[in-house]
């Protein structure tokens, strides 16, 4: 089949790859000049399937309210919220019920474990070399933090995830550069989890696909999708109509605008986050892999010769305006755990990205209900960790093959429920 993939973030790139592997003739249409320029640009890179959980969780509404006025808040609301965001919040609030959360968490984790398997398969099959390290450690500042993670650890046990609770002395043996002066309660170490450079992976996969004949149309915007595989595309010079046997929408947040005229109202909201990336100043002071400060929900990752610190979840607000208190939290957490690791005196890349978040958790993967139009979107805070599995599932569905895992939870029918 001739298939157009709209969007070259990590979801679009992996989808195009799987479709090409299945023998389809694929064109990727991307409004930016390169792959992974938006939400996939500078994320934390963490691949920890046991920690992939819905944002809609019991107790979250109270946490959000509790953080409204705190200085280093991990979660914020940018006021005023639009009508659309208020509707989103109401749906999110309803999805925080325990039964809904448990069901969504199980589905998401199944997809995340499957995705890790697919990521390893692709990496080995193509011999891809990108910045990555093994191991993930959750750092617990206090006994209270430790108590709060116990329910999550039971989930890991039930899922058979290999992890170990560590004392500070043991944690320092894994991450030898942890600040010797910081007093903390303990850590949870997950040796099979990992961190990887999402953008670099997307670039390598794009290069491989171009060698295999996949076409990339950069600086090309899809202005409109009509039914039956027809899209209206716009470049700086012209506007043309193109026809495909199938179209797969992987346009992140812009998917809302493209689906609205077709009568598909997708409750997707931007949950902004930040990262700072800086060159390692002294390797002996830098993390070996990725750690997460549980209290501030900030990840510190080693990506090759750089350290990346990422966190904050901000519903609403402008995509351009960087909130200085959110950035300050990242610098503070880095300084607390790995002082002197990074060269912060110049050349720090400060990034604000928007997680394409559905209110209830699982992404939308599959037929849209409109002839010739397929969806792979709404991966929220775990798009990198879910990408390779979601892509394989989508390609199976287009090819009328049964996916390796149960996908009923990801279908667009739930939008109408």
Ligand X SMILES: Cc1cc2nc3c(=O)[nH]c(=O)nc-3n(C[C@H](O)[C@H](O)[C@H](O)COP(=O)(O)OP(=O)(O)OC[C@H]3O[C@@H](n4cnc5c(N)ncnc54)[C@H](O)[C@@H]3O)c2cc1C
364 counts as binding ligand X under rule CB under 6 A? no
Among 4, 18, 43, 53, binds ligand X (CB under 6 A): 43
Among 24, 31, 105, 132, binds ligand X (CB under 6 A): 31
- From the CB of 283, what's the least distance to ligand X, in Å? 22
356 counts as binding ligand X under rule CB under 6 A? yes
308 counts as binding ligand X under rule CB under 6 A? no
**Interface characters, 204-243, with ligand X (x: CB under 6 A):** -----------------xx---------------------
**Interface characters, 69-108, with ligand X (x: CB under 6 A):** ----------------------------------------
Choose the stretch contacting ligand X; rule: CB under 6 A; options: 32-40, 84-92, 123-131, 388-396: 32-40
Choose the stretch contacting ligand X; rule: CB under 6 A; options: 18-26, 128-136, 141-149, 353-361: 353-361
Report the distance separating Cα 292 and Cα 189, nearest Å.
10
Q: Which is nearer to ligand X, 32 or 322 (CB)?
A: 32
- From the CB of 183, what's the least distance to ligand X, in Å? 27
Q: Which is nearer to ligand X, 172 or 224 (CB)?
A: 224
Judged on CB neighbours under 10 Å (0-12, 13-18, 19+), 133 is middle
7 counts as binding ligand X under rule CB under 6 A? yes
User: Which residues of this chain interact with ligand X, rule CB under 6 A?
Assistant: 6-12, 29-32, 37-40, 43-46, 221-222, 250-252, 254, 258, 273-275, 299, 310, 353, 355-356, 377, 379-385
């Amino acid at each position: 089949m001739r298939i157009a993939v709209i969007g070259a973030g990590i979801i679009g790139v992996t989808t195009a790859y799987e479709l090409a592997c299945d023998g389809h003739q694929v064109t990727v249409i991307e409004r930016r000049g390169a792959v992974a320029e938006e939400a996939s640009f500078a994320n934390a890179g963490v691949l920890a399937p046991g920690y992939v959980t819905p944002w809609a969780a019991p107790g979250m509404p109270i946490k959000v309210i509790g953080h409204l006025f705190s200085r280093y808040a991990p979660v914020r609301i940018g006021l005023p919220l639009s009508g659309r965001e208020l509707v989103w919040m109401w749906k999110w609030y309803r999805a925080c019920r325990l039964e809904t959360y448990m069901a969504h968490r199980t589905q998401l984790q199944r997809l995340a474990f499957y995705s890790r398997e697919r990521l390893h398969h692709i990496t080995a099959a193509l011999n891809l070399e990108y910045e990555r390290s093994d191991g993930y450690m959750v750092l617990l500042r206090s006994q209270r933090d430790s108590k709060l993670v116990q329910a999550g650890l039971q989930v890991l046990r039930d899922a058979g995830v290999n992890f170990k609770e560590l004392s500070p002395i043991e944690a320092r043996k894994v991450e030898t550069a942890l600040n010797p002066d910081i007093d903390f309660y303990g850590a949870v170490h997950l040796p099979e989890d990992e961190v990887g450079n999402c953008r670099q992976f997307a670039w390598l996969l794009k290069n491989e696909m171009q060698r295999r004949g996949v076409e990339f149309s950069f600086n090309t915007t899809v202005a409109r999708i009509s039914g039956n595989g027809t899209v209206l595309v716009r470049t700086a010079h012209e506007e043309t109509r193109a026809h495909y046997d199938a179209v797969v929408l992987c346009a992140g947040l812009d998917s809302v605008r493209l689906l609205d005229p077709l009568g598909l109202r997708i409750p997707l909201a931007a949950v902004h986050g930040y990262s700072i990336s800086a060159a390692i100043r002294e390797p002996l002071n830098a993390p070996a892999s990725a750690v997460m400060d549980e209290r501030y929900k900030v990840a510190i990752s080693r990506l090759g010769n750089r350290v990346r610190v990422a966190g904050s979840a901000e519903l609403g607000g402008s995509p351009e305006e960087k909130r200085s208190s959110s950035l300050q939290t990242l610098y503070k957490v880095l300084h607390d755990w790995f002082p002197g690791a990074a060269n912060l005196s110049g050349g720090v890349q400060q990034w604000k990205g928007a997680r394409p978040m559905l209110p209830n958790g699982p992404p939308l993967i599959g037929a849209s209900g409109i002839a010739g139009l397929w969806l792979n979107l709404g991966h929220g805070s775990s798009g990198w960790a879910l990408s390779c599995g979601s892509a394989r599932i989508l390609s199976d569905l287009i090819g009328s093959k049964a996916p390796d895992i149960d996908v009923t939870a990801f279908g667009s029918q739930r939008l109408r429920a």
